[in-house]
Chains A and B, each alone.
Chain A
Amino acid sequence: MEKIIDIQHLSKTFGNNVVLKDIDFSVNKGEVVCIIGSSGSGKSTLLRCINLLEKPSGGKIIYKSENILDDKHDVREYRTKLGMVFQQFNLFNNHDVLGNCTVGQINVLKRSKEEAKKIAMKYLQVVGMDQYINAKPRQLSGGQKQRVAIARALCMEPEVMLFDEPTSALDPEMVGEVLKVMRDLAESGLTMLIVTHEMGFARDVADRVVFMDKGVIAEEGPPEQIFNNPKQERTREFLSRTLQQNPAYIPSDSSEAQKIVKAI
């Protein structure tokens, strides 16, 4: 399989706080990888290092066989290949829904206004927000905002989508609509790297689940392994803690997931 992102010995420190330690990790083309782990384990930092919102302190990030940490590498060009979806949506408040989806296309990809609009409409339709092109972010619900944020990222036609807890800031009744969009995207074959607390979602959608703990990847494998037969004690502990505290993370229709809760 073709590796699209290959991370080697990645480390990140803030002052004397070591947040990522010697991370080796890769994502294959077309793969859906979910990252789980407790708060403060470095999940967001890993994602933010990948698109260089944080500058890694050491190691390599190989994107399609090029080390993007080389000084000569064009950071902005690279970033257009990665779509990022944030927990807090981070829509541009001065633009309406359409503007949010076209400003990057026009200014970065140098597409014409008409072309940008056409592409924006296409992806707004994918997330079911094509009727709302005139709305300002402040007029939308959280779930709608996040779907627009996903469309904004898709409009750049990235090769990989990064999601950092896309549903954590949402009211429970809006989580479903966003997860549904993400499910559709995963089925379409898009390469996705998703930090999530939605265990049911990770189990259903991921090709591979990565469990992070205290700045290292403690365990990774297919969802069946991580959720049914974790090899590491700390994975087991984390899962039992999360699933017991928040059974709401598991959609009630997922009987498989219910079994895990009972098993634990």
Chain B
Amino acid sequence: MEFQFILKTIAKYWPMFLRGAGITLYISIIGTVIGSVIGLIIGIIRTIPMPEKGLKRIILKIINGLLSAYVEVFRGTPMIVQAMVIYYGSKQALDIDMTPLFAGIFIVSINTGAYMAEIVRGGIISIDRGQFEASYAIGMSHLQTMTKVVLPQVIRNILPATGNEFVINIKDTSVLNVISVTELFFQTKSITGNNFKYFETFFITCVIYFVLTYSVTRILRFIEKKLDGPENYTLLDDELEEEKPKPAVLQNQNIIGKH
């Protein structure tokens, strides 16, 4: 009886479910990507070594203070409330008329950014000092050290946490229905407004959410594996290492007669 009705509901309303799922995925993907970039930038700024004195130190202190405030505020308040404050606040106080979709992406992004900032900071701190020093020792700049050595490792290490944020975002975009973003939850509510079959309709939605989060988890696992490269290395030649004659380079290098 119910199963039949579920099939009927799908047959009748599938375009709405599909559109809702599409919007949910769209907001979560963009929100996670932008949020990760925000987190990466903040994480980098917060790990710049503090200069001993001077104007640079003061500026860095102020920036760090502002960034901490941002992280704390967004981690310390519910996203559903942030959505109301930002969407209606910008309309009334600043006279900015955002579309709900734009507001949704904005809110998810800065929310994710606040969480990712901490994750990135932890990731950078976890890279041992030695690699920084080895990089400086061959003449690389701080920026080169970050982009060529540290961040690739940080990004690899925080990938699981990022995936986690993505999954959370897929679920939490549902709160954006309070500002009328037409994501999956909002669409489901609209459907039940017509058919009054709450259990069947929301059951379908439940399955859709699970399929989304589960696929994302699997895909990210796969990417992690890819990034790690092969389990074993291959030797260049297949003959085993033997006592080789002294390489020619060394003999040629005998510039300074010694001993």
Contact = CB atoms under 8 A, between A and B. Distances in A.
Contact of A132 (B133, B141, B156, B235): B235
Interface stretch (A17-25, A181-189, A195-203): A181-189
A21 to B, nearest CB: 22
Interface string A62-101: 0000000000000011011011101011111111100000
B137 interface: yes
Contacts of B258: 30, 187, 189, 207
B246 A184 contact: yes
Contacts of B131: 90-93
B139 interface: yes
Contact of A126 (B128, B144, B247, B255): B247
Contact of B153 (A94, A107, A134): A94
Contacts of A79: 136-139
A216 B218 CA distance: 60
B241 interface: yes
A236 to B, nearest CB: 28
A103 B148 contact: yes
Contacts of A190: 253
A186 to B, nearest CB: 8
B254 A188 contact: yes
A131 B235 contact: yes
Contacts of B237: 131
Contacts of B241: 128, 131
Contact of A29 (B137, B153, B256): B256
Contacts of A174: none
Interface of B: 128, 130-131, 133-141, 144, 148-149, 152-153, 156, 229, 232-237, 241, 244, 246-247, 249-251, 253-259
Given A93-B131, A93-B153, A152-B138, 7 more contacts: A53-B136, A76-B141, A83-B137, A104-B138, A132-B236, A184-B246, A185-B250
Interface of A: 29-30, 51, 53, 76-77, 79-80, 82-84, 86, 88-96, 103-104, 107-109, 122-123, 125-126, 128, 130-136, 139, 149, 152-153, 156, 184-185, 187-190, 207
Q: Which 9 A-B pairs have the closest CB atoms?
A: A90-B130, A135-B233, A104-B138, A189-B256, A90-B134, A80-B139, A30-B256, A84-B137, A188-B253
